[in-house]
Amino acid sequence: MFDIKDLYQEIIVDHNRNPRNFRVIADADKTMEGFNPLCGDRLKLYLKIDGGNISDIAFDGTGCAISVASASLMTDAMKGKSIDEAETLFNNFHCLITTENEIDTDHLGKLAVLAGVKNFPARVKCASLCWHTLHSALIGDKNPVTTE
Ligand code: ZN
């Protein structure tokens, strides 16, 4: 029997083993660091902004499988998005992993695989670290992000 949970697990394992966009962008327009002391996840995001769109996005750092898979999936989803679209996706993803209600996940694509973390409160910070880091980068925060 095909179990959708197996697929979700596979995507997370795959993105942890072979993270997409795991590199440094030397001439990035924006960089932002994020740290989740609860788990020890640490990442740095690199963004190229071109005409109000995210033309390139990458990350590096170290962290647990969920934090790395989340950053890998997020950077894949963000490439080519406008800053407004990125903020909308940030809000939708935040709902996905924190609310009890079932939300429409069609537009979230592969990001929906992370919905399961809402059953594991400690993991929510792992999955959301890269998103909060992106949000801070886009609004121009000066301070590194911490989940505490
Ligand atoms: Zn973690």
147 occurs within a structural domain: no
pLDDT value of position 9 = 83
List residues, by chain if needed, whose CB lies under 5 Å from ion ligand 1. 39, 41, 64, 67, 126
Q: What is the 92 CA–ligand 1 centroid distance (Å)?
A: 21
Mean pLDDT, all residues of the chain = 91
Number of domains in the chain: 1
pLDDT value of position 21 = 98
Q: What are 119's two structure tokens?
A: 């059953």
Q: How far is CA 114 from CA 2, 30, 47, 102, 119, in A?
A: 19, 26, 23, 13, 11
134 occurs within a structural domain: yes
Q: What is the 116 CA–ligand 1 centroid distance (Å)?
A: 14
Q: How confident is the model at residue 133 (pLDDT cuts 50, 70, 90)?
A: very high
Per the listing, tokens 């925060």 go with: 141
Q: List the domain range (segments joined by +) for residue 34.
A: 4-142
Mean pLDDT over residues 73-96, rounded?
A: 95
Q: What is the 50 CA–ligand 1 centroid distance (Å)?
A: 31
CATH number at residue 48: 3.90.1010.10
148 occurs within a structural domain: no
